[in-house]
């Protein structure tokens, strides 16, 4: 079976999305790239029963290479992300995670950028934008997402959810988790009063610090 490791990772993280409350039912989707091929969640399949062999493999033009099931309706978004040359640091783009997480979706209806309530918004970039609304599964949504991702590693999708990418599935998943957490913090603080926000210069400073963060 081609891309066996990548297909298994798609299954693992699809189930994790459900466990972590980032999606409900069969919403949201995940893809992992290897070379010119992409393993991606199928449309309308319960993630609890998803097996590696159920995960379709497509080429970068969207043609199905292997698998019996249809890929997610959001395939245009995934392929548009892979169409980018690299992330802002020049790292390859090898995974994409799209969620329907509650707090981030709520925030996407209120603002045009995620308010810098916490420095971890810098895991996305200088800010986390909200892509303009378009119907799911359309090229219009993919185009709006691409605009919001300029110099960013993730964004919110207006009235829809989040999307983030990384050089591996762990990095992409971590970013959608951080987006959801930052949105939750802001909404909680906002209900209690007028939260103090970090200035753009501090977020830019943290973006630089994160480039050398962790074990290397």
Catalytic residue IDs? 74
From 132, 134, 178, select the one nearest 153 (Cα to Cα): 178
Strands 95-99 and 29-34, how do they pair? antiparallel
Please state, in angstroms and rounded to a whole number, the distance separating the CA atoms of residues 81 and 93: 8
CA distances for 15 relative to 68, 82, 88, 165, angstroms:
20, 23, 29, 18
């Amino acid at each position: 079976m081609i891309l066996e490791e990548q297909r298994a990772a798609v299954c693992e993280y699809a189930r994790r999305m459900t466990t972590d409350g980032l999606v409900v039912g069969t919403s949201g989707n995940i893809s992992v790239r290897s070379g010119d091929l992409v393993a991606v969640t199928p449309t309308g399949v319960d993630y609890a029963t998803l097996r590696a062999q159920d995960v379709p493999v497509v080429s970068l033009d969207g043609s199905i290479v292997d698998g019996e099931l249809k890929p997610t309706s959001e395939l245009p978004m995934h392929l548009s992300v892979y169409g980018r040359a690299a992330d802002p640091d020049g790292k390859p783009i090898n995974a994409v995670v799209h969620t329907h997480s509650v707090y981030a979706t709520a925030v996407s209806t209120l603002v045009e950028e995620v308010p810098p309530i916490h420095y971890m918004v810098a895991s996305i970039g200088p800010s986390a934008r909200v892509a303009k609304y378009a119907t799911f599964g359309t090229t219009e949504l993919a185009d709006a997402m691409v605009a919001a991702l300029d110099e960013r590693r993730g964004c919110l999708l207006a009235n829809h959810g989040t999307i983030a990418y990384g050089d591996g599935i762990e990095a992409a998943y971590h970013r959608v988790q951080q987006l959801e957490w930052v949105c939750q913090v802001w909404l909680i603080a906002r209900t209690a009063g007028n939260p103090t926000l970090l200035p753009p210069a501090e977020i830019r400073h943290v973006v630089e610090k994160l480039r050398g963060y962790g074990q290397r």
